Amino acid sequence: MLQAWLDFHRQTLLFKCAGLDADQLRRRAVEPSTLTLLGLVRHMAEVERSWFRRRSLGQDIGFIYCTDASPDGDFDDVGPADPEADFATYRTECDQADAAAKDLPLDHTFYNPRREAMQSLRWVYVHMIEEYARHNGHADLLRERIDGATGA
């Protein structure tokens, strides 16, 4: 059930972006917010990588878009970004997240130094569903402002 809800929210984000050109995906449509649909996709690629591979599996891998110089590069550095490449990265990160979690039990735990606590894979799934739900709400508003599209 957790995987099904996560997959639903992943598809919802992609649906909200479907049919838009690069400029529309980069558009900051709800001022004064700097959020963009492309920024949300890039952010969720970072989050997928971070929670499933870096934390749950303990892989020593870096960030995709965020750097010391630009800690919010996933959201902020969309001007020169290539949406096609970013969507491919997003899909790859989702696939790799699924592969990372596939053989782990939901009760698998890991230490999260940022929160100074043990956390479980079950917690990660619930958190990811919440994260997508929140950002899909943002995507709804952005998409409606860009071209009036609403739904699913």
> What's the whole-number average pLDDT of the chain?
96
8-28 residue pLDDT tens: 999 999 999 999 999 999 999
Structure confidence by residue, pLDDT tens digits, 99-148: 999 999 999 999 999 899 999 999 999 999 999 999 999 999 999 999 99
What are the distances in angstroms from CA 135 to CA 16, 28, 40, 75? 11, 15, 7, 12
| Nearest-angstrom CA–CA distance, 100 and 6 | 14
| CB 57 within 8 Å of CB 30 | no
Percent of the chain at pLDDT > 90 equals 97
Instruction: Report d(CA 56, CA 13) in Å as an integer.
Output: 23
CATH class held by domain 2-147: mainly alpha
Indicate yes or no: pTM above 0.75. Answer: yes
Residue extents of the structural domains in the chain: 2-147
Separation between Cα atoms, residue 2 and residue 7, nearest integer Å: 9
